[in-house]
Amino acid sequence: MFISSAIAQTAPAAAAGGDLQSSLMGTLMGMLPFVLMFVVLYFVMIRPQMKKAKEHKAMIEALAKGDEVATAGGILGKVTKLGDSFIDIEVAAGVEVHLQRSAVAQVLPKGSIK
């Protein structure tokens, strides 16, 4: 009952403005806010995240023996061995920990760890 009256009310409006060009413009103008939201989302969230990931990858690839690092878990140590995807860091005298390279969060300046 309500649906048929709603369709009947929109039918004359569609017939009066049945111009293809005006309906296409109306559709494009309706999609414009979604396109603008995606563009803003890209520049505010996606692009900076990609830049940060690229910098982290470059830092991990540049690791060298003797670098002092901080891991994602908060462990501080000096790199003693390097592998393709794993590293060993010395956290105390004679204590080494075997970690994934991606666990390194930061390379510290020399002499940071006493």
- What is the pLDDT at residue 13? 52
* 64-108 CATH: 2.30.30.60
Q: Kindly list the strands in the beta sheet with 86-92, ordered across the sheet, starting from the edge strand earlier in the chain.
A: 95-100, 86-92, 76-82, 68-71, 104-108
- What is the pLDDT at residue 8? 57
Domain extents for the chain? 2-58, 64-108
Question: Tokens 């990931």 map to which residue?
Answer: 53
pTM: 0.66
- What is the pLDDT at residue 54? 97
Q: Are 65 and 74 in contact (CB under 8 A)?
A: no
pLDDT tens-digit profile, the chain (114 residues):
556 665 656 555 555 555 777 888 888 888 999 999 999 999 999 999 999 999 999 999 999 999 999 999 999 999 999 999 999 999 999 999 999 999 999 999 999 887
- What is the pLDDT at residue 114? 78
Angstrom distance (rounded) from CA 49 to CA 64: 25
- What is the pLDDT at residue 113? 87
